Chains A and B, each alone.
Chain A
Amino acid sequence: NAGVTQTPKFQVLKTGQSMTLQCAQDMNHNSMYWYRQDPGMGLRLIYYSASEGTTDKGEVPNGYNVSRLNKREFSLRLESAAPSQTSVYFCASSVGTGSGGYTFGSGTRLTVV
């Protein structure tokens, strides 16, 4: 099925551990995004990649790094996880500039203990 695929779906980390969240899209979209969803805060943009080879910070980038590996894949890395990073993480993609909505993945629920 065409769309955005995120792995893993669930993860529990200990404080200080690192991990990479994977995201891949097969719609030939130019732009990709990482958001986190927290209760009462909605969806907040962590990082985005307007096109292959470029990445930029969003609203809440601290504690995260990203890699746009190719046009299809955009990964999010937590180098040293903290309890404040407990959240649900969504990857999304879009055609890019101009109007148009996002296609979201189903999310990764991350708990940092």
Chain B
Amino acid sequence: DQQVKQNSPSLSVQEGRISILNCDYTNSMFDYFLWYKKYPAEGPTFLISISSIKDKNEDGRFTVFLNKSAKHLSLHIVPSQPGDSAVYFCAASVSGGYNKLIFGAGTRLAVHP
């Protein structure tokens, strides 16, 4: 029973274009959402987060959108660069839950020149 789902295992995008990674969740108690980026042979690194009181958070080329009614969030990368090629994990947590994160299965993004 996956509470956080990333239904696209992979995504291929041309350099300079927009990358859109999607994530759905089922637990309505989740109120904090994060995206992590992972390169091969390294641990995941924090990328961007959003609280459920917001519907958008932006950090440079990265923007996360949250649609609470649809239980859906997305990560937009504009413009995409070859260095963005990595696996992206969506994660969610419940405030007060000792920051325990539930992760999705990940989406492998390939940005080609």
- A: residues with CB less than 8 A from B are 4, 31, 33, 35, 40-45, 48, 50, 58-59, 90, 92, 94-107
Contacts and interface: CB of A to CB of B under 8 A. Distances in A.
Interface stretch (B45-53, B58-66, B71-79): B45-53
A17 B98 CA distance: 33
Given A41-B105, A42-B106, A43-B89, A98 B43 contact: no
Contacts of A44: 103
A102 B105 contact: no
Contacts of B106: 42
Nearest to A49: B98
B51 A99 contact: yes
Contact of B98 (A42, A43, A96, A106): A96
Contacts of B51: 99
A98 B99 contact: yes
Nearest to A44: B103
B13 interface: no
Interface of B: 4, 6, 9, 32, 34, 36, 41-46, 49, 51, 89, 91, 95-96, 98-106
Contact of A43 (B32, B44, B96): B44
Contacts of A104: 43-45
A45 B100 CA distance: 8
Given A40-B9, A101-B34, A101-B49, A95 B41 contact: no
21 contacts: A4-B43, A40-B9, A41-B105, A42-B89, A42-B104, A43-B89, A43-B91, A43-B103, A45-B100, A48-B98, A50-B98, A59-B102, A98-B95, A99-B32, A99-B49, A99-B99, A100-B99, A101-B46, A102-B44, A105-B43, A107-B43
B100 A102 contact: no
Contact of A58 (B44, B91, B100): B100
A99 B98 contact: no
A59 B4 CA distance: 13
Given A43-B44, A90-B43, A101-B34, A96 B100 contact: no
